[in-house]
Amino acid sequence: MNDIAQVEIRPARLRDAGPLAAFHEVAPPPPGGAETADPIYMTDLRARVLAVSGGAIVGTCRYLGAAGHCAVVPAPRLLEWDEALAARLLRAAAAHALRRHRARLIQAIAEPEGTSPLAAAIEQAGFDRLAVLSYMRRPIRFEDKLLAPPAGLEWRPYSIFRHSLFARTILRTYRDSLDCPKLAGLRPIDDTIATHKHTGTFSSRTWRLAMAGGDPIGAVLVNENQGRGDLVYLGVAPEARGRGIGRALIERGIRDTAEMGLPQMGLAVDVGNTPALRLYERTGFHEVRRRLAYFIPADRLETLAKM
């Protein structure tokens, strides 16, 4: 595509609905295949930015806002793929998410593992590599309901009265964590918990603290998501690591998934977190795919805000 610098990037307007629908009919999926394509819905105009040349739409991108001041920017759609224009759209959509959604965690995902032109455009847009994520699955069997916790552990389910205790415990588990450590301190803990609650269907009964001697030493949070149990978070307090607490937590999550009557459990883990990866493999999980996650660091959010 010629004269990229002359292409206008602007927020979508209501009158763009018709031309956008026409654009959708002819725009090919972005590099990486149809799986990464961003479907165009007229209801999301306020979250969308457009690339316009000569009065015609030549590209579009949007953000998907989530609870906890979080947003994901899917791959842009272009009439003709151009890395520089794709980067401009990704950056504009991220700025849009910051202004409209007040997002503090803005992510993008590429697949395969950072080898596609999409990954190059994401990096050019100012996103940093966060982690290679391994998506894992495990079938749930009837006998998983019988998994017994180790002696000396007690379990406390989530409630509004224990919210602060959960928040403090989760914060402690972040200390020296190997799982996406670049996210530490990016958002307040209440924002992170809000995101966890809105990942699938939240149930207080399957959010648990592991207690030893009256003190919380770990947390396991499981939601129902797309017909399976989804491990949205698992963490062990630093002083309790190396004592088998991680295994007790994941087995508690497996048992809760079985008691919900769900046939499968899934999770995503940073492949750099070798101890967690091995733990999940030992407890029956197997990898089904990998994806490369990006985020915008805190020091670049201020630059975005000025766009």
149 and 262 within one domain: yes
pLDDT digits (tens, 9 = 90+) for 275-286: 999 999 999 999
Burial code of 137-166, b = ≥16 C-beta within 10 A, e = fewer? ebebeeebeebeeeeebeebebeeebeebb
Give strand pairing partners of 292.
110, 132
3-class secondary-structure state, position 303: helix
pLDDT digits (tens, 9 = 90+) for 155-202: 999 999 999 999 999 999 999 999 999 998 899 999 999 999 999 999
The answer, yes or no, to whether residue 138 has pLDDT greater than 90, is yes
85 and 116 within one domain: yes
Between the alpha carbon of residue 303 and those of residues 49, 89, 91, 200, 306, the distances in Å are: 18, 16, 11, 32, 5
Residue 4 is predicted with a pLDDT of: 75
Residue 179, domain CATH = 3.40.630.30
DSSP state of 284: T
- Per cent of the chain over pLDDT 90 is 83
Run of H or E residues at 193: helix 189-197
Residue 15 is predicted with a pLDDT of: 93
71 and 19 within one domain: yes
Spatial CA neighbour of 78 closest among 115, 121, 45, 42: 121
234 touches 246 (CB < 8 A): yes
- Per cent of the chain over pLDDT 70 is 93
What's the per-residue H, E or C state across 225-243?
Answer: ECCEEEEEEEEECHHHCCC
State in Å, rounded, how far the first CA of the chain is from the last one: 24
Of 74, 93, 126, which closes a domain?
126
Query: What is the pLDDT averaged over residues 39-52?
Result: 82
102 and 19 within one domain: yes
Residue 34 is predicted with a pLDDT of: 43
Residue 153 is predicted with a pLDDT of: 94
Residue 37 is predicted with a pLDDT of: 54
Query: What is the pLDDT averaged over residues 236-250?
Result: 96
Residue 30 is predicted with a pLDDT of: 86
Query: What is the pLDDT averaged over residues 80-86?
Result: 95
What is the reported pTM? Answer: 0.91
Residue 58 is predicted with a pLDDT of: 96
User: Containing domain of residue 274, as a range?
Assistant: 135-289
Residue 93 lies in a domain: yes
